[in-house]
Amino acid sequence: MNARSLKGNSPGEINIALETCMAEGFSPTLAVVFISVKQDRNAVCELLTRHGIDVFGSTSSGEFTDGHESTGEIALLLLDIRKSNYCVLLESFDGKTDEEAAATLAKKALRKFSKPAFILCSSFFSVDGKVVNGEVLVRSIESVVGPQVNLFGGMAGDDLSFTGSWVFTNDQASDYGMVALVLNEDKIDLQGMAISGWKPLGVFMTVTKSEKNLIYTIDDKPALEMYLRYLGEERAGSDEQFDFFKTVGGHYPFQIEREGRQALMCTPIGYDKEKEALVCEADVPQGSRFRFSTPPDFDIIETVIEKAGELKSATQAEAEALLIFSCAGRLSALGPLATQENDGLADVWNVPMAGFFTYGEFGRAVNGKHEFHSTTCSWVALKEK
């Protein structure tokens, strides 16, 4: 399998880059498209369709290829993977639960391949405000395919506007659905992991009143006021210019306790002033126990890259393409170091890479199983056997 990464600030630029590499004799079958909501998705899909290239796409909150990072632009990873080794499925959540939709998608994948692996992108926030539960998607796919299923990916972004994120294929798009690049694992090798680095701090607290992704009270105290007070940002309530996500939310997510499993990171993405509630990236059940967490030390970048190197050495795996799903909170908390992290991973595998800043990641925890995460850098290296 050959791969090329492309970048551009418009469908036109992408078209030029695509034609250039095709003129060099490269004939991709599949395009992994990470694109800003500001860009014309349809135009990009049309030009790829015109060239007979299948599309697996997601909107982003910043996108990158090896050596380039942007916000508001387009990043592509083109693969000339055999068509018999993959399929692209899009499943809408409309009219069904997250669990049912994920199970339907997994069953379709199983009908296609006996050992399917998934690169999954899901919308995060529909245009009319419906939130997708990434945790449920993982558990549901796992229940159909089995606990050893390989599942990597991320939740679509929208340039941190929180107005709606999209997933799409050549001819379908959804702001309340998921798209899966289903790979035949008998023919495609996948290696990857997800690392966070955020550290718990302080005592356990309890969500005493919540509704879906809104937290009203923590330990019976107003959640918004408490969260801001704990982070020294009381002024935020009256400051219209206050950028909640970039200033606090993206840096200080909650670590929600999960019995017998790694804590679930949950990032507050905003607040509802009228309801005095915190708006979280995922549903937070009433009674959940959590701790505050602080951003990783700067050496997390080295850790992520070292762990990738260790995995590569241990498995003696080779790769032909690399996908990275890095939490949008990482970009906010690690700034230019997040770029170093992505480039460092690309250097480890020394293959074309594309990725985007996500609203939640799917991936294998170090020494663990596949989970839904937040704040992680989740990457997967692909090789056609």
295 makes contact with another protein (CB under 8 A): yes
Beta strands at 30-36 and 54-60: parallel, antiparallel or unpaired:
parallel
Work out whether 201 is an interface residue with another protein (CB under 8 A): yes
What DSSP character marks residue 238?
G
92 versus 208: smaller Cβ distance to another protein: 208
Instruction: Find the helix packing angle between 336-349 and 300-315, rounded to 10°.
Output: 10
What is the three-class DSSP state of 138? helix
Contacting range for another protein; rule: CB under 8 A; set: 1-9, 76-84, 118-126, 197-205 = 197-205
- State which of positions 109-128 bind another protein (CB under 8 A): none
Among 10, 29, 294, 303, binds another protein (CB under 8 A): 294
336 near another protein, rule: CB under 8 A: yes
Residue 73, Cβ neighbours under 10 Å: how many? 23
- Please check whether residue 284 is in contact with residue 218, taking contact to mean a CB–CB distance below 8 angstroms: no
Q: Give the interface segment with another protein, choosing from 30-38, 64-72, 73-81, 328-336 (CB under 8 A).
A: 328-336
Is there binding between residue 330 and another protein (CB under 8 A)? no
Report the nearest approach of another protein to the CB of residue 54 (Å). Answer: 36
Minimum CB separation of residue 334 from another protein in Å reads 8
DSSP assignment letter at 292: E
Q: What gap in Å lies between CA 133 and CA 153, rounded to an integer?
A: 14
How many residues are listed for the chain in this entry?
A: 385
Q: Of residues 86, 252, 349, 359, which one binds another protein by CB under 8 A?
A: 252
347 scored as a contact of another protein (CB under 8 A) = no
Q: How many CB atoms lie within 10 A of CB 255?
A: 23
Binding region for another protein (CB under 8 A) out of 53-61, 120-128, 145-153, 291-299 = 291-299
Contact between 29 and another protein by CB under 8 A: the answer reads no
Q: Does 192 bind another protein (CB under 8 A)?
A: no
**For the chain, what is the total number of helices (H) and then of strands (E)?**
9, 26
In which residue are the tokens 């170090």 written? 366
How far is residue 69's CA from residue 62's CA, in Å, rounded to a whole number? 7
| Residue with token string 């990275």 | 324
Tell me if 8 contacts another protein by CB under 8 A.
Answer: no
Pairing type for strands 353-358 and 321-327 reads parallel
Could you say which of 229, 258, 273, 385 contacts another protein (CB under 8 A)? Answer: 229
Q: Is 365 in the site for another protein (CB under 8 A)?
A: no
Instruction: Return d(Cα 382, Cα 385) in angstroms, integer.
Output: 9
Stretch that binds another protein, among 72-80, 87-95, 229-237, 312-320 (CB under 8 A): 229-237
> Vertex 381, ends 307 and 76: CA angle to 5°?
125
> In this complex, which beta carbon is closest to another protein, that of residue 233 or of residue 276?
233
**Among residues 107 and 298, whose Cβ is nearest to another protein?**
298
Q: CB–CB of 167/174 below 8 Å?
A: yes
| Residue 4 or 251 with smaller CB distance to another protein | 251
Binding site for another protein (CB under 8 A): 201-203, 229-232, 248, 251-252, 292, 294-295, 298, 333, 335-337, 340
